[in-house]
Amino acid sequence: MQTFLDFFSFTDPNVRWVVLGIMAMCAGAALVGVFAFLQKKSLVGDAISHAILPGICLSFLITESKATWALLPGAFLTGWFSLIAIDYLTRHTKLKSDSAIALVLSVFYGVGILLLTMIQNMELAQQSGLDKFLFGKAAAMVYEDVLVLIGLSILIAVVIFSLYRPFRLLSFNPEYAQSLGYPIRFLEGLLSGLTVLSVAIGVQAVGVVLMAALLITPAATARYWTNSLSVMLILATFFGAFSGLMGTYISYTYPHMPTGPWVVTVLSVIAILSVLLGRKKGVLASQRQLRRNGRKMLEENLLKCLYHLGEMDNEWQKKRTWAEITQKRLFTKKQLQRAWKALSRKKLLLADREGLLLSKEGEKMGRRITKIHRLWELYLTKHLHLASDHVHEDAEAIEHVITPELEKELEHQLGYPVLDPHEEPIPYNEDDKKDT
């Protein structure tokens, strides 16, 4: 508890500045990472993070300083050059983008390791600790490094929010953005530059090996919670900053454990929980949606079955026995019981020991499902030229997901037909008749 209070009181200036620097760096990387993630350029961040190592080594050889301001120009240049190399290989050779990224990553990282080994064997006063850039050493940052890191992170945030609309269009519909007159090549270059900058400023804290995770994981994690880009940016920033805070705290509690790996570990835990619990795309949410869809399909199939039985003798308000229902459509006892109980609660049918009876509302819903089924069969035969005996299964699947808007569009495109491909009547509700 005392360690917790000492840390979160921020009375120690070193703790205060390191925490601010790490959180700012993580937040800035997360903001840029959202657009890299949406543009499916996640691996590019990994290539950049490895490609800046030779730039760091070259900057050190020139300046003989490990200060962030001294190493950043070289890191930025080699990171940017790696993007140019990837783009050139993709455009002018037969290499696919993933192969080009892997090639550039390995070559640049190999050169960086050679330069780092050469520096370690040289008699330079400042060479000690340069290898910490491989895995990061946040505690080695000084006041000036943190100021540079915070300043550049703020710059990244300002540029992104100032150009939020162009970047959004670039991520989702670059052709439309170009038609509006936006300079696509400039925006792509600017976004790439921000990516390189965010990776370069985070290397000292997290290291070249783990920086790619810090760039992409917050964005991927936020995607499990929302479909809105603005909310995604906020969530990714929060996840990144929170991981930076907690990673620094764990490293402070256990001094022999580096900050960078703990930041990524905390972020990974959040990502795993989001994969499981995410409101939009989480595993549990997907399972719930699948169960809801399964129940909906089962209930609608029972309503349609009862409606079809009514069509046979033009009596939809007639009680149908269990034997009639199972003879018309194959339901297991468990499925049938689950479906009629749910429909009874919704007052769509009445049930007793003898059988089931459609209510007025249930008859209306059964008619709609039957109509959609037959409209879709007609659409497949008329517009896609499929044989009439090959469309039933497709219609069985699609009838449960057609919205009222699509239903109206189908009717309009088909000219409000009367018969389906099997010469079965297409039933319309009273509201449909009024519309026509």
Q: What is the DSSP string of 379-435?
A: HHHHHS---GGGSHHHHHHHTTT--HHHHHHHHHHHTS-SB-TTS-B----HHHHHH
Q: How far is the C-alpha of 19 from the C-alpha of 3, rounded, in Å?
A: 15
DSSP conformation letters of 266-319: HHHHHHHHHHHH-TTT-HHHHHHHHHHHHHHHHHHHHHHHHHHHHHHHT-TTS-
> Which among 76, 46, 38, 47 has a CA at the least distance from the CA of 156?
76
Predicted pLDDT at 163: 93
3-state secondary structure of 320: strand
pLDDT score at 434: 46
Q: Residue 18: which of 339, 314, 264, 258 has the closest Cα? A: 258
Q: What is the pLDDT of residue 431?
A: 62
Give the model's pLDDT for residue 205.
Answer: 75
Q: E strand or H helix at 248, and its extent? A: helix 229-253
Would the pTM of this model clear 0.75, i.e. be above it? yes
Provide the pLDDT for residue 139: 65
Given a contact cutoff of 8 angstroms between Cβ atoms, the answer to whether 88 and 150 are in contact is: no
Residue 326's H or E segment, with its range, is helix 322-328
DSSP structure class, residue 86: H
SS3 355: strand
Please give the structure tokens belonging to residue 397.
Answer: 């699947």
Buried b / exposed e along 374-409 (16+ C-beta atoms within 10 A): bbbbbbbbeeeeeeeeebeebbeebbbebeeeebee
Q: 31 with 160: CB under 8 angstroms?
A: yes
What is the residue type of 372? I
* pLDDT given for residue 245 in this prediction: 92
What proportions of the chain, in percent to the nearest 5, are helix, strand and coil? 75, 5, 20
Distance CA 66, CA 53 (A): 13
Distance from C-alpha of 25 to C-alpha of 205, rounded to nearest angstrom: 9
343 vs 356: CA distance, rounded Å: 10
Sheet with 349-351, edge to edge strand ranges: 320-321, 355-358, 349-351
Is residue 336 within 8 A of residue 401, CB to CB? The reply is no
According to CATH, the superfamily of the domain at 2-281 is ABC transporter involved in vitamin B12 uptake, BtuC (1.10.3470.10)
pLDDT < 50: residue spans in the chain: 434, 436
CB 17 within 8 A of CB 74: no
Summarised one tens digit per residue, pLDDT across range 49-106 is 888 889 988 888 888 777 777 888 888 899 899 989 998 898 888 888 888 888 998 9
* Tokens 């079809």 -> residue: 308
As a whole number of Å, the end-to-end CA separation of the chain is: 73
Report how far residue 357's alpha carbon sits from residue 99's, in angstroms, rounded to the nearest whole number. Answer: 63
SS3 350: strand
Q: Using one digit for the tens of pLDDT, what is the confidence trace for 71-81?
A: 888 888 998 99
Q: Which CATH architecture has domain 363-435?
A: Orthogonal Bundle (1.10)
> Around Cβ 40, how many Cβ atoms within 10 Å?
10
* 131 contacts 137 by C-beta, under 8 angstroms: no
3-state secondary structure of 377: helix
Q: Which pLDDT value is given to residue 140?
A: 67
